[in-house]
Structure 1
Amino acid sequence: MSGKHGVVLYGPPAAGKDTVTRALTELDPQYAQFARLKVGSGKSSGYRMATAEQLHALETSGDVVYANARYGNTYVIDRPGLDAAFKAGVPVVHLGQVDGIQALVGGYPADWAVVLLWCSREETARRSEGRGDADTTARLVAWDATREDLNVHAAMAWDLTVDTTTTSPQESARRIDQLLVQRAEVATA
């Protein structure tokens, strides 16, 4: 693929964003999860940990593409981080807010494939408990917020929708990869 191609995976907690990203990376190592900046505490794996001062510096320089607060932390998609991710390959950005998708697609020029990964609230609870999350209740609150977000943004156009309760991670990855290949072919035609 030529040009800047990226993937946005949107969905509630435990919908499979991490699992599908791993399957994408196994399918083609050019895919890599975008490590958002995280200001706060808790899980640091998969994030670039930052301080409030570093976040303030990014805000001052206009390099925050999107930031949101959840689970008592601030999560940031930053321009320098995206620049580095695109130099390395095809970033896969995980988001749980439609506003975040709109900020990213509108605020960072690239060919973004926007994918809705979905599972039921009950499946989120089952998966969260199954992986030993200590904050399953908070994840169910986030699931409810995601459902409301989808209701508010009912006109949102998805490039691809995948029900992860009936579609394997490998098949999900294959569909996403095929979507990007088709978009690249159209762009070069």
Structure 2
Amino acid sequence: MTEKQGVILYGPPASGKDTVTTALSELDSKYAQFARLKVGTGKSAGYRMGTAEHLEELEAAGHVVYANARYGNTYAIDRPGVDAAFAAGVPVVHLGQIDGIRALVDGYRADWSVVLLWCPREVTEKRSAERGDRDTAARLAAWDATREDLDAHLDMVWDLTVDTTASAPQDAAHLIDQLLAQRAAAATA
């Protein structure tokens, strides 16, 4: 039996993680964004909203694979959530920290394809303004943190790197889909 496959999309804010995930799900319905558990306020679309008490229960049971704080909220990747995502198909996990990638790859057994989506800082600023973000300054600070994260982890190996200013979301989705097909074929060879 082939190991279950998942996709991790890493990149700064507005690098195209949501857009590429939408293109992947349009290409094949097996792809679906993993809804991280979010404790806090603000945007709820794409998240499973939870309480601090629920997160504490998951942590106490050893079910939190990775958690981070950003924008005044806590975001968690939890084992029951990942289990459910794999039961439904191929999860696409959005991360903005290399430590999160490593925690997920090391902490949840699967064939993870790790993709770097990139755009320059000024593109993040423009895209953030165009989509009506009220916290563009915080997103630019997160872009800076992502750049620092990359610079601090030069040993990070990417299965695929996509410049989202040069590749259409559908093209990126096709590249990711091809990557998973190649990895599945190699695993069964």
Q: TM-score, normalised by structure 1?
A: 0.99
Alignment of structure 1 residues 5-154 onto 2, 5 Å: 5-154=5-154
Residue 166 of structure 1 aligns to a residue whose secondary structure is coil
* AA partner of residue 159 (structure 1): D
Alpha-carbon offset, residue 176 of structure 1: 0.2
Tell me the SS of whatever aligns to 2:3: coil
Structure 2 SS opposite 1:105: helix
Amino acid at match of 2:18: D
Q: Which residue of 1 aligns with 2:166?
A: 166
Per-residue deviation at 1:2?
3.9
How far apart are the structure 2 equivalents of 1:37 and 1:6?
A: 18
> What secondary structure, in the 3-state scheme, does the structure 2 residue paired with 1:9 have?
strand
The alignment's C-alpha RMSD in Å is 0.8
Task: Give the distance between the partners of 2:97 and 2:171, measured in 1 at CA.
Answer: 24
What is the SS of the residue equivalent to 2:44? coil
Q: What is the distance in 2 between the residues matched to 1:122 and 1:13?
A: 11
Q: Percent identity, aligned pairs only? A: 74
Structure 2 spans left out of the alignment, 5+ residues: none
* Runs of 4+ residues deviating >6 angstroms: none
Distance 2:126 2:2 in 1: 40
Give, as a single letter, the amino acid of the residue that structure 2 aligns with 1:80: P
Taking structure 2 as the reference length, the TM-score comes to 0.99
Which whole-Å CA distance do the structure 2 matches of 1:155 and 1:130 have between them?
A: 34
Structure 1 residue runs without a partner (length 5+): none
Q: Secondary structure at the match of 1:18?
A: helix
SS of equivalent residue, structure 1 residue 29: coil
How far, CA to CA, are the matches of 1:132 and 1:51 in structure 2? 27
Q: CA deviation at 1:113?
A: 0.1
Q: Secondary structure at the match of 1:57?
A: helix
Q: CA deviation at 1:155?
A: 1.0
What do residues 6-33 of structure 1 show as CA deviations (whole Å, max 9, x unaligned)? 0000000000000000000000000000
Partner of 1:176 in structure 2? Answer: 176
Letter in structure 2 aligned against 1:131 = R
Query: How many residues align structurally?
Result: 189
